[in-house]
Amino acid sequence: RHVANFQLSIASVIENSSSDCLAQDLHLQAQQLAERLKCDSVVSEISAGPGTVNFTINRELLAKTVLQQVWKDGSEYGVKSELFSTVPREKAVIEFSSPNIAKKFHIGHLRSTIIGNFIANLKVALGHEVVRINYLGDWGMQFGLLGVGFQSFGNKEKLKSSPLQHLFEVYVQINKAAEDENTKKLAKDFFRKLEEHDEQTLSIWKQFRDLSIEEYVRIYKRLGVHFDEYSGESFYQEKAQEVLKMLEDKGLLQKTVKGTGIVDLSEKKDLSTFSTVMRSDGTSLYITRQFLIISFRDLAAAIDRMNKHSCDTMIYVTDKSQSNHFQHLFQILELMGYDWAKRCQHVSFGLIQGMKTRRGEVIFLEDVLNEVRSRMLQNMTSTKTTKEIKDPVETAEKVGLAALIIQDFRGLLSSDYQFSWDRALQSRGDTGVFLQYTHARLHSLEQMHGNAELTDVNVACLQEPDAISVLQHLLRYDEVLYRSSQDLQPKHIVSYLLTLSHLAAVAHKTLPVKGSAPEVAQARLCLFQAARSVLANGMKLLGITPVTRM
For residue 488, give the nearest of 120, 79, 87 by alpha carbon. Answer: 120
Is residue 93 within 8 A of residue 341, CB to CB? The reply is: no
Q: Strand 253-255 and strand 229-232: pairing?
A: unpaired
Q: Mind giving me the DSSP string for 354-381?
A: --EETTEE--SHHHHHHHHHHHHHHHHH
3-state secondary structure of 12: helix
What's the rounded Cα separation, in Å, for the pair 421 and 419?
7
Q: Is 103 a catalytic residue?
A: yes
What's the rounded Cα separation, in Å, for the pair 47 and 7?
10
Catalytic option among 27, 80, 103, 188: 103
3-state secondary structure of 171: helix
Q: Is 106 a catalytic residue?
A: yes
For residue 224, give the nearest of 511, 462, 545 by alpha carbon. Answer: 545
Q: Mind giving me the DSSP string for 267-323?
A: TTSSSSSEEEEE-TTS-B--S-TTTTB--HHHHHHHHHHHHHH--SEEEEEEEGGGH
Q: What is the DSSP letter of 460?
A: G
Residue ranges of alpha helices (H) inside 410-454 are 421-424, 432-449
Strand ranges (E), 16-128: 43-49, 52-57, 91-95
Backbone dihedral region of 410: left (phi > 0), alpha (psi from -120 to 50 degrees) or beta? alpha
What's the rounded Cα separation, in Å, for the pair 344 and 346?
7
Q: Which residues are marked as active site?
A: 103, 106, 109
